[in-house]
Each structure stands twice: as C-alpha cells, then as structure tokens.
Structure 1
Amino acid sequence: MTSIGPARSVLDRLDRMSEPSIFTRILQGEIPSEIIAETDNAFAIRDIAPQAPVHLLVIPKTQEYRNVVELAAGDPALLAEVVGLANSVAAEHAGGDFRLVFNTGASAGQTVFHVHAHVLAGDLDEKSVGG
C-alpha cells in the first residue's frame, strides 16, 4: 500500500507559495503599508479595517503556513517570535493589555490564508475578532 500523504503535503505547500499573499506583497513593497515593528522573521502593521481602537496584525515573513495550527506544528519557534512581537507592539500601542486572535479557516473568519495574529486593544466588544 502506497501512502501519498507526505507528497500531497509538499504539493499543498508549493501551491500555497505560488501566489504571493497580500502580506508578502506588503513586505516586498508592492502594496503600501507602514511596518510598525519587525523582527528577523515577522513584522507588524495596522489593520486596514480595524475592529477595535487598536487593531494591529503580526505576520510571519514566510507564507508557508496558512494558519496557526500549521505554524505551531511546523515552526514553534516562529510562533513564539510572532507572539513575542505581538506582546511588544501591544506594549507600545496599547499599554500592554490586549486580545490576541488567530482565525483558522474561512468559517472562523479567516480571510487571508497566510497565518497572522490580530492584536486588539481598547474598548473591545464581542465583534472584535479580526479577519
């Protein structure tokens, strides 16, 4: 019996990387956006459709991972770097109190399939879940 699981996984990753995501295009300077903070492997920007008084996005520079579950399984150190950068930008822009949201899947509100964290702060309500 032949397993095609690992081969399919590699093909899925190659397919994901064939078209640059909006975040990759921002990082490459193709789409204007102010990068408010950056590490070796992640960067932070303001959300263009904020759901809270402070709504920032923290994004790995690689688009290899579609969601936080894939990122946690594939590169836990990168996930830790993303969370660390989220903490830093929250301290600077929100006084340190914040909600950190990773939407996983279209039915959960994910609209860009390049993993990213939403840093939300200020007067939050139940609708402040990001996209």
Structure 2
Amino acid sequence: MQECLFCRIVRGEIPAAKVYEDDEVLAFKDIHPQRPVHVLVIPKHHITSLAHASEADVPVLGRMLAVAHRIAADQGSPNGFRSIINTGPVGGQEVMHVHMHIVGGQEPVGPMLRRI
C-alpha cells in the first residue's frame, strides 16, 4: 500500500514521534491525543483492518497486545490503560491500516461507550 499513511510512517517518509519499535510493530504518539497518554501501535506490514486479518496475521496482532503494557507504562500509564482497535466505518476506523490506540494517564479513562 504505497499511499497508506501508516505504511509511509513505517518507511520513514512521514515523521512520527516513535516510542517503541521492533521487527514487527511500531508505536508512536497520536498527533491528536485524547488523553495524557495516547499512542498508536501498528503492524509494520499492511493489514487494512481486523476484518481483513488472516491466520497469518495472528503473530503480529498478538505482538501488538503483548507490548501494550510496556508502552503504556513507559509513556506514563503504569496502572492501566485502555486499548482500542476500531474496525471499518461503523467502528470508527479513520486510517485503513490496523492500529491499536493505547490511552491512559493517571486518571481513569471513563466509560467505554456513551449510553444511547
């Protein structure tokens, strides 16, 4: 995906405030943070959404979850965090590359969903 925003960040074509990187995933600060800690964790290879993930993607998706606590703690949320993966238009996905939001800080993040 040549024009994918997150693929371009992985390739170094667009700068990002990186906070974690290994062979499989990259984490960087959200440019519009919603909490004191707001980091995006992405696989380095393109997966459009969870709806497009396959069995072959299981290791990298697991890696994203496995490093989440370390990233949250390193960024100032050692006592917990919320992880969010939006999928597709109904789920509110804005960038069509799987990404997990890690949000937190020192105060509770509040209710998960607004009551309707």
TM-score range (shorter-chain normalised) is 0.7 to 0.9
Give 5+ residue unaligned stretches, structure 1.
1-16
Between the aligned partners of 2:79 and 2:72, the Cα distance in structure 1 is: 5
Give 5+ residue unaligned stretches, structure 2.
none
Please, what TM-score do these two structures have when normalized by structure 2? 0.83
Higher helix share: 1
5 Å matches for 1:89-108?
89-93=71-75, 94-108=77-91
Q: 1:77 aligns with which of 59, 77, 81?
A: 59
Identity of aligned residues (%): 37
Greater CA radius of gyration, 1 or 2?
1
Deviation, 1:22, is 0.8
Please, what TM-score do these two structures have when normalized by structure 1? 0.75
Runs of 4+ in 1 over 2 A off after TM superposition: 68-74, 125-128
Superposition CA RMSD, Å = 1.9
Count how many residue pairs are aligned between Structure 1 and Structure 2. Answer: 110
- More displaced 10-residue stretch of structure 1: 91-100 or 113-122: 91-100
5 Å matches for 1:40-51?
40-51=23-34
